[in-house]
């Protein structure tokens, strides 16, 4: 993939003329995708795809054109042809454009290379392992494997490169619907990932998840709507943060009146002093550069001890709103959020919860009232009713509807000492990079509405 990137960069340098500057981001992957249902292979295949997002700048005007490159092994001749055609299209678009006062492209010749070795994937070994480990269990899962690359290059000499090779298997083990609770579904969720496949380790992880499923074999508990104490497991907390990341840390969303954390940013509300959140690239889960060609800072504070500490400001938003850029991506979505740990050890968490709900996963979150920070969503997978620190039954899926200023404000009792690293697993259009590092959260009351 690096060779493809270099050939693309060379083609860009050959393609421009006069005062033009051209830059491109590259998103490339060679992915094996495997879907499992009932412990057996449901749908599997390979996708090879490389998309170059080209930007042509001519004076104060610019235009953007994304092209799919003609194969991961495309040679210089094919890339030259693709780039020449793209530049022709871009010149036509620029002719229909006006000066862009918010244009900002880094023209410095930045060079960086952050790549792990590109690994192969043994297809037969994977499916043999899963089928044997699952046995007769109703295991449903999804594996993505292979290299994912990101690059930025420009006709001014910039070449920034990022590649990770990873096997990630994410699955759930399902028990038959509970006939005593209107067929309510019961399942536990698990995942395993590594730079390459280790069948023995994967088999052990699957076996552990089958054992975990015993806790949900009990009859489902149906809870009445109302407020309950909640221990939010790291994945559940990550699900809540994922919603807040939908504009909550974005300078553009804040200035546009579309941020769910607008009251925090305006100083009209605070969160718990236990809560410190930053965009932190230290894990290496996300590239250290962004689409305008700027290297990204290692850490951008967003919330410090419950108070507003900053926003993600892209170079474009900086120009639009007169702010200082911190080289955020154009989307101003945090790519590598980190929540600082607290003082609640994992072994003491259920006892501190006492009686309430252990929420392993949240699902399908959205805003009930975005500017007010009120959010809704569902519990999912092995969310358990806990009595006096002991899990006693899985619960029927419940809908919460509450304010983040309450849940993560005065009702936040503690954060876990252990921080889980959860790589992004989204595969819409392309396999995602990034992820979150997050502890568990103990909340004294969450309002469940349905």
Partner 1 sequence: MIDAPLRVRAPSAGARVAIRVVRTQTERLMVRRSLRMPIETTADAGAMVTVWRRHGVGYCASADLSSAGLDAAAQVADEWARLAERHGVFDRVELDAVLDDRPLPDDAGPHGEALPARPDLFGLLHAESQALACDPRIVSWTARLAVTRGEQALQVDGRWRVRQSRRYVEANLEATAVDGPVSQTRTLAGQYNGFARQGGFEVIRASGLIGGGARVADEALQLLAAPECPSGVYDLLLAPDQMMLQIHESIGHPLELDRILGDERNFAGGSFVTLDMFGHYRYGSPLLNVTFDPGVPGELAGYAADDDGEAARKVWLIRDGVLQRPLGGGLSRARAAARGVVLEGTANSRAVGWHRPPIDRMANLNVEPGSASLESMIASVERGVLMSTNASWSIDDARNKFQFGCEWGRLIEAGRLTSVVRNPGYRGVSATFWRGLGAVGDATTVEVLGTPFCGKGEPGQVIRVGHAAPACLFRGVDVFGGG
**With contacts defined by CB under 8 A, how many residues of the chain interact with partner 1?**
96
41 lines the binding site for partner 1 (CB under 8 A):
yes
CA 141, chain centre distance (Å): 18
Cα–Cα distance, 177 to 435 (Å, whole number): 32
Binding to partner 1 (CB under 8 A): which residues in 8-27? none
| Least distance between partner 1 and beta carbon 343 (Å) | 33
Please choose, out of 192-200, 256-264, 342-350, 434-442, the segment that lies near partner 1 by the rule CB under 8 A: 256-264
- Interface residue with partner 1, options 218, 221, 255, 307 (CB under 8 A): 255
Q: Is 359 helix (H, G, I), strand (E, B) or coil?
A: strand
256 lines the binding site for partner 1 (CB under 8 A):
yes
Binding to partner 1 (CB under 8 A): which residues in 344-363? 363
x-marked contacts with partner 1 along 187-226 as a string, rule CB under 8 A:
x-x-------------------------------------
Please choose, out of 124-132, 150-158, 305-313, 332-340, the segment that lies near partner 1 by the rule CB under 8 A: 124-132
45 lines the binding site for partner 1 (CB under 8 A):
yes
- Interface residue with partner 1, options 343, 369, 387, 388 (CB under 8 A): 369
79 lines the binding site for partner 1 (CB under 8 A):
no
Binding to partner 1 (CB under 8 A): which residues in 90-109? 93-94, 96-98, 100-103
| Least distance between partner 1 and beta carbon 135 (Å) | 12
Please choose, out of 13-21, 71-79, 290-298, 326-334, the segment that lies near partner 1 by the rule CB under 8 A: 71-79
290 lines the binding site for partner 1 (CB under 8 A):
no
Please choose, out of 17-25, 253-261, 288-296, 407-415, the segment that lies near partner 1 by the rule CB under 8 A: 253-261
| Structural tokens at position 252 | 């553009």
CA 303, chain centre distance (Å): 19
CA 232, chain centre distance (Å): 18
Residue 21 and residue 57 in contact, taking contact as beta carbons nearer than 8 Å: yes
Q: Which residues contact 119 (CB under 8 A, 6 or more apart)?
A: 146, 147, 165, 167, 195, 196
Cα–Cα distance, 348 to 368 (Å, whole number): 33
- DSSP state string for 239-282: HHHHHHTTTTTBHHHHHTT--TTHHHHTTS----TT--EEEEGG
Cα–Cα distance, 357 to 207 (Å, whole number): 25
Task: Work out the number of other CB atoms within 10 angstroms of the CB of residue 436.
Answer: 28
- Interface residue with partner 1, options 8, 23, 24, 63 (CB under 8 A): 63
């Amino acid at each position: 993939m690096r060779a493809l990137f270099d050939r693309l960069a060379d083609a860009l340098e050959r393609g421009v003329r006069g005062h033009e500057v051209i830059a491109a981001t590259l998103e490339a992957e060679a992915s094996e995708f495997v879907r499992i249902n009932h412990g057996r292979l449901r749908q599997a295949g390979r996708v090879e795809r490389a998309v170059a997002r080209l930007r042509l700048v001519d004076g104060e005007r610019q235009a953007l054109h994304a092209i799919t490159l003609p194969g991961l092994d495309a040679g210089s001749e094919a890339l030259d042809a693709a780039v020449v055609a793209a530049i022709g299209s871009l010149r036509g678009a620029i002719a229909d454009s006006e000066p862009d006062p918010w244009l900002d492209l880094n023209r410095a010749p930045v060079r960086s290379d952050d790549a792990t070795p590109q690994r192969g994937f043994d297809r037969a070994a994977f499916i043999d392992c899963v089928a044997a480990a699952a046995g007769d269990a109703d295991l449903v899962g999804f594996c993505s494997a292979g290299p994912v690359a990101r690059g930025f290059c420009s006709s001014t000499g910039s070449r920034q490169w990022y590649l990770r090779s990873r096997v990630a298997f994410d699955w759930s083990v399902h028990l038959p619907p509970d006939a005593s609770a209107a067929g309510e579904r019961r399942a536990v969720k698990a995942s395993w990932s590594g730079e390459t496949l280790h069948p023995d380790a994967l088999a052990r992880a699957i076996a552990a998840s089958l054992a975990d499923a015993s806790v949900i074999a009990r009859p489902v508990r149906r809870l009445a709507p109302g407020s309950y104490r909640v221990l939010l497991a790291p994945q559940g907390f990550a699900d809540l943060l994922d919603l807040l990341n939908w504009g909550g840390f974005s300078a553009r969303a804040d200035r546009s009146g579309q941020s769910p954390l607008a009251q925090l940013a305006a100083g009209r509300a605070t969160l718990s002093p236990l809560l410190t959140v930053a965009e932190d690239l230290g894990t290496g889960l996300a590239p250290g550069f962004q689409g305008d060609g700027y290297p990204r800072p290692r850490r951008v504070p967003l919330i410090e001890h419950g108070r507003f500490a900053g926003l993600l400001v892209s170079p474009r938003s900086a120009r639009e709103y007169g702010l200082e850029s911190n080289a955020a991506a154009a989307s101003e979505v945090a790519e590598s959020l980190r929540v600082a740990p607290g003082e609640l050890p994992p072994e003491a968490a259920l006892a501190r919860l006492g009686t309430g709900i252990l929420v392993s996963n949240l699902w399908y979150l959205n805003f009930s009232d975005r500017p007010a920070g009120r959010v809704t969503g569902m519990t999912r997978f092995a969310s358990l009713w806990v009595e006096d620190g002991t899990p006693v039954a899985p619960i029927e899926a419940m809908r919460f509807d509450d304010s983040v200023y309450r849940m993560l404000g005065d009702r936040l009792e503690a954060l876990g000492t252990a921080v889980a690293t959860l790589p992004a697993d989204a595969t819409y259009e392309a396999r995602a990079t990034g992820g979150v590092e997050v502890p568990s959260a103990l909340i004294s009351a969450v309002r469940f509405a349905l």
